[in-house]
Amino acid sequence: MLIISSSRTKAGHLASPDGNNDTRPTRRPARVTTSAAVAVVAALTLSLLGCGSGGVRDRQADGEVGARPAGGPERPTAGMDGGGAVAGDDGTRSAPPPPARPLSDTLTRALAPMAEGSAAYFSVGLRDLRSGAVGVYGGGWYDTASIVKVGILAALLLDAQDEGRELSGEEHAHAAAMIEQSDNGAANALWRAIGGADGLDAAHRRLGLTETFGGEAGRWGLTRTTAADQLRLLSAVFEDGSALGERAREYIGTLMGRTADEQSWGVSAAADGDGTGFRLKNGWLPRSTTGLWDINSIGHITAGGRGYLVAVLSDGSAGMDSGVALVEEAARRAVEATTAALNGDGGW
């Protein structure tokens, strides 16, 4: 059952990535009825993330399903656990593996002590690509900051697919600058090209996202999302069965693998060895009235011989450095604990 809990509101203005201030968006997206919306969210959770029917805590603004979320994130709670379809390593296995171990207890043991000692809020989503096991620790919506740039590029590529064309030279240049350097001017140009918040929302729905709503008045950094939805986006980029074609998915992954060295922090800290070979996009955003920071990181990494999709969202860090440290420690704890648990199941 999907449980809707009340909001913990953090009032005030936010600083957009291009330096402008804006109040939290209040436009309510066109959605289906309350009962239908709950059914859609529950069905997406069960089918894409392979979850059980209980233990999920989410929040809608003012307790209304379908409203654009306006409250801040909640203290982390476990949920959205279970196993999904298994992808064989080389196609030679003749027997299916045992059911994937649920990840909620594993993530709770790894992250609850960290949450108790943190003044900031955070949520972690993790998907094991070999077994399909998935878990999300923590609930609530977070500002995307620059991680939304992956969604902007996905929307642009969906538009190009629909029109049966390649990206133009200018679009390629903007895409590379936006993902590799996190260039805000390039993001502004592509945000306009996809039709702003409405275009982003439409693309996200095609990719299976149900809990992400584009920022208004050009404030793409104020897009609101959840860790579960960021896993859905990563799955659409790095797994088969997406509305994105193979070439489009490879293109996004290639650009995410060329992140500038100074922006290579984040979930990459949980990767094996020197952290090379990851696919990454980070976001950082100071709140203008409080001086606190949103620090986020999403990507594909390899650890312990397993491929993972990882999303860490956070709100309320005193500075960027402390926020980065929080995100990296959460990613390391989640991945290390999950790897130990899954590799203990006969190598699955």
Q: What's the rounded mean pLDDT across residues 235-262? A: 97
Model pLDDT for residues 164-185, shown as the tens digit of each residue:
999 999 999 999 999 999 999 9
b/e sequence 271-308, b meaning 16+ C-beta within 10 Å? bbeebeebbbbbbbbbbeeeebbbbbbbbbbbbeebeb
Which range (76-80, 288-292, 296-300) has the least confidence? 76-80
Query: Phi and psi dihedrals of 101, rounded to 5?
Result: -65, 130
Q: Is residue 323 part of a domain?
A: yes
Asked if residue 348 is part of any domain, the answer here is: no
| pLDDT over 80 at 255, yes or no | yes
Residue 99 lies in a domain: yes
Q: Which residue has the tokens 């449980």?
A: 3
The stretch 225-251 carries a mean pLDDT of 97
Query: What band does 287 get if pLDDT is binned at 50, 70 and 90?
Result: confident
The CA distance from 183 to 191, in Å, is: 12
**Angle at CA of residue 294, ends 289 and 299, nearest 5°:** 165
What phi and psi values does residue 284 have, to the nearest 5 degrees? Answer: -145, 140
Burial string for 159-184 (b: 16+ CB within 10 Å, else e) reads bbeeeeeebeeebeebbbbbbbebbb
Residue 76 lies in a domain: yes
Query: Other CB atoms closer than 10 Å to residue 98's CB: what's the count?
Result: 12
Other beta carbons within 10 Å of 96: 10
What percent of the chain has a predicted confidence (pLDDT) above 90? 65
C-alpha torsion sign, points 341, 343, 347, 348: positive
Instruction: Look at residue 242 and tell me if it is in a domain.
Output: yes
Number of structural domains found in the chain: 1
CATH number of the domain enclosing 92 = 3.40.710.10
pLDDT of residue 348: 53
Let me know if residue 6 belongs to a domain: yes
Helix (H, G, I), strand (E, B) or coil at 54: coil
Query: What residues make up the domain containing 109?
Result: 2-343
Which two three-digit tokens encode residue 85? 């379809």
pLDDT tens per residue across span 184-230: 999 999 999 999 999 999 999 999 999 999 999 999 999 999 999 99
pTM of the prediction?
0.77
